[in-house]
Amino acid sequence: MSESSVPPVRQDPVVPKPAASLLVLRAAKAPQVLMGMRGAAHKFMPNRLVFPGGRVDPEDLQAAPATPLPEHACALMAHAADAALIRAVGIAAARELEEETGLTLGLPPLLHGLDYLCRAITPDFSPVRFDARFLVVEAEHVGGTLAGSGELEDLRWYGVEEALGLDLAFPTRGVLEQLKLWMAMDAAARRARAHVATLRNRGWELE
């Protein structure tokens, strides 16, 4: 058998790291969401418009919030996460928000105003993978002054429709579409959800 005919060695997919992103939503003439551009030096999604967020750190698993995530949000995440990870996702979302934008949910953070929006898992073939859970919070629950750390460029409030008109990464566009569906629900309908959308290998499914 020639060297060229030797089948390639199959490598198992990289295990995705847990991550959390937070969509901060404010009401103006039209709904707006806080977003910023990842710099060119980032290994994951460089030069892309994203929401504040990042990897769940080991410290997040040990930290405790001032108030927990709402019960219905925890129940939705419990389809694929244990209680420790669910709590850590909320902590990580609050921490990343403050680190990247200067806005805060308090220290320790108040998580009762957050809701679980959707989940996206980086495709199997990617060398860098995240299992990201996207949370949403209305701006009235957030304090502080918007002052980016430099990690996100052009950090500002984007109209939801404005953002959808830009060149977005496929997952980011999908998350914004999920946000529109969430905004169309009243509070009771949001609490009554039994499933959320999950992106796996570029296809959305209910989980």
CATH number assigned to the domain comprising residue 124: 3.90.79.10
User: Would 10 be classed as within a structural domain?
Assistant: no
The contacts of residue 107 (CB under 8 Å, 6+ apart) are: none
Q: Domain total for the chain?
A: 1
The pLDDT value given to residue 156: 95
Query: In this structure, what are the phi and psi dihedrals at residue 126, rounded to the nearest 5 degrees?
Result: -75, 140
Q: Are 207 and 193 in contact (CB under 8 A)?
A: no
User: Would 159 be classed as within a structural domain?
Assistant: yes
CA–CA gap between residue 15 and residue 124 (Å, rounded): 9
Give the DSSP letter of residue 165: T
User: Would 7 be classed as within a structural domain?
Assistant: no
Whole-number Cα distances in Å, 177 to 9, 42, 99, 145, 163: 39, 25, 26, 28, 11
Residue 10 burial (CB count, 10 A)? 5
User: Would 34 be classed as within a structural domain?
Assistant: yes
User: Would 11 be classed as within a structural domain?
Assistant: no
H/E segment holding residue 174: helix 170-183
User: Would 14 be classed as within a structural domain?
Assistant: no
User: Would 187 be classed as within a structural domain?
Assistant: yes
- Enter the pTM of the model: 0.91
CA–CA gap between residue 189 and residue 14 (Å, rounded): 36
Domain of 86, in residue numbers = 20-206
H/E segment holding residue 133: strand 130-138
The pLDDT value given to residue 27: 87
Q: Tens place of pLDDT for every residue, the chain, 207 residues? A: 455 555 554 478 899 999 999 999 998 678 999 999 986 455 555 578 999 999 999 999 999 999 999 999 999 999 999 999 999 999 999 999 999 999 999 999 999 999 999 999 999 888 889 999 999 999 999 999 998 777 888 899 999 999 999 999 999 999 999 999 999 999 999 999 999 999 998 899 999
Whole-number Cα distances in Å, 158 to 23, 48, 71: 11, 14, 30
- Of 25, 57, 55, 45, the C-alpha closest to 157 is 25
User: Would 83 be classed as within a structural domain?
Assistant: yes
